[in-house]
Amino acid sequence: MRKDYVNILFLSVFLVTLGCVGMFNTPKVTTSCSFDQTWSVALASVDEFELRRIDQENGLIETEWIGLASKTKSGFSLFESFARDSNQERAKFFINISTQSNGILIAVQQNREFFSSMGVQSQSNPWRRIPPIAEEEQRLSNRISNQLRAKGCAILS
């Protein structure tokens, strides 16, 4: 009986640790440019997206949800061919810009969600959170870095 509690405790700690590591694994760039110049470049880097929130005082840029073709399977193999058309994914980006002791830090984070009409869904929020695509986060981070370099800013990390 005691062994079961230890195993459950170990598993819980492992899952919490894994979740926390994932939150801090977003691409980050540090630059020598001023906050205002970094802000302008970051804002110009997301010009292809519709923006939901632009808060320069708090250093936050948030895009609207972007609808995507779903690659996620619903798990119902019998209905898979029908479910693929009804599965949906969406994503949005958060760009956080903050002043650090060694320069201006830019962090890019993607929130991604999945919806399927198959199975039981919550009525209040039918979308389920799924892991971000690291390559998309990195691509946006690289775009910001390249534009900062083009403006003559040094990239410190």
Rounded to the nearest 5 percent, the helix, strand and coil shares of the chain are: 40, 30, 30
**In sequence order, what DSSP letters do the residues of 9-64 get, joined into one string?**
HHHHHHHHHHHHHHHT-S-EEEESS-HHHHHHHHHHHTTTSPEEEEETTTTEEEEP
Which pLDDT score is estimated for 108? 98
Domain 25-150 CATH assignment equals 3.30.530.50:
yes
Q: pTM for the whole thing?
A: 0.73
| Tens digit of each residue's pLDDT, the chain (157 residues) | 555 554 454 444 444 444 444 445 899 999 999 999 999 999 999 999 999 999 999 999 999 999 987 665 555 444 454 544 568 899 999 999 999 999 999 999 999 999 876 655 556 678 889 999 999 999 999 999 999 999 999 999 8
